[in-house]
Amino acid sequence: MAINYQTGIIAEPSSDATFILLDATHGEEGTLRQVLSDSPAIIHSIQKQFPGCELHAAIGFSAHAWERITLQAKPAELKQFPSFEGAFLSVTDEAHDIILHIRSTRHDATHILALKLFQAMGDSVTLKGQTNCFKYIDNRDFTGFVDGTENPQGEDRKDVALVGDEDPMYRDGSYLNYITFRHDLQKWNALSLKEQEDTYGRTKYDNEEYASEEKSAHAHTKRTSLKDDDGNSLEILRHSMPFGDLQEQGLVFAAYSRTPTIFDLMLQSMIEGDEQGRADHLMKYTQASSGSTFFVPAIGFLEALTP
């Protein structure tokens, strides 16, 4: 059976990615729907030009424009990005309409596909932002720690990321949460190795998890390792990647899941902290003011859109 989910959701980590935020032009939604319905064919044609480059895409829409763009009811749990206020960081909804998440092992392949889709959309969209990301050393964030280690593997990636029978109309779609973090690396690099490792609850060079009793309540991996009432781990599929130039360095955090609730709980646990207000100390070394939530529908849903 042909794959019906957009392959950018599940694909393994890439060495290059671009994240593009767009708003949909009022009055041009019919043109946009036509391009979106053609988009799986456009993606396939560029993938054929770059065999072996793991070129993948995911196109998603936010709650702000779902009905206007697709003329369909919203997925069951699609809502705007949550707002949280904390001692180190506060976030709110960025309110963009569309995201394109494109990735591969070659920047030229990523770029050609991004440009092709953007040009096809023409005046039906306005560009609100683009962040180009790259693999940094061995999948490390700019803080020097390997990012993505505890991600679900193999078939679990689909279980964690894809909507199933709970929302039949949107089966094989996925909720995508997106935040751009800008790091204060001068402040971070002034910490000792031990202070940095305690902040994550993992070792830096050999990337080992601290024993549970060694982890501070403020450690990033403590604040994000959540369990449900039955003791099962709550999981998301992260595809975060570093971006940077000579002036700023940071991380585009991007995570897919079959329900956005898990991400909300994790972010709340990081920013507001536990019942005693113990927040994620990693947030002392980075800044983010807003984020966005999108739903990335199945390929069949895109293809069925009509002008």
Q: What is the phi/psi pair of residue 35, to 5°?
A: -65, -40
Q: Does 145 bind ligand HEM (CB under 6 A)?
A: yes
- Residue 206, classified by CB atoms within 10 Å of its CB into exposed (0-12), middle (13-18) or buried (19+), is exposed
- Residue 124, classified by CB atoms within 10 Å of its CB into exposed (0-12), middle (13-18) or buried (19+), is buried
Q: At what angle do helices 29-49 and 107-121 cross, to 10 degrees?
A: 160
Least Å from the CB of residue 236 to ligand HEM: 6
Instruction: Determine which residue in the list 181, 243, 295, 301 makes contact with ligand HEM, applying CB under 6 A.
Output: 181
Largest Cα span, the chain? 58
Cα–chain-centroid distance for residue 211?
A: 28
Segments in 50-165 forming alpha helices (H): 66-70, 107-121, 156-161
Query: Is 16 one of the catalytic residues?
Result: no
Instruction: Determine which residue in the list 102, 251, 298, 299 makes contact with ligand HEM, applying CB under 6 A.
Output: 251
Region near ligand HEM per CB under 6 A, out of 96-104, 118-126, 138-146, 167-175: 138-146
Site for ligand HEM in 257-276 (CB under 6 A): 263, 266-267, 270
- From 16, 147, 172, 198, active-site residue: 147
Site for ligand HEM in 208-227 (CB under 6 A): 220-221, 224-225
Q: Does 202 bind ligand HEM (CB under 6 A)?
A: yes
Cβ-closest position to ligand HEM: 150
Smaller CB separation from ligand HEM, 114 or 251: 251
Cα–Cα distances in angstroms (integers) from residue 71 to residues 18, 23, 76, in the given order: 27, 16, 15
Smaller CB separation from ligand HEM, 49 or 233: 233
- CA distance linking residue 285 with residue 129, whole number of Å: 23
Asked if 237 and 255 count as a contact pair (C-beta separation under 8 A), the reply is yes
Least Å from the CB of residue 68 to ligand HEM: 28
Applying CB under 6 A, which residues contact ligand HEM? 141, 143, 145-150, 179, 181, 200, 202, 220-221, 224-225, 236, 251, 253, 263, 266-267, 270, 282, 286
Enzyme catalytic residues: 147
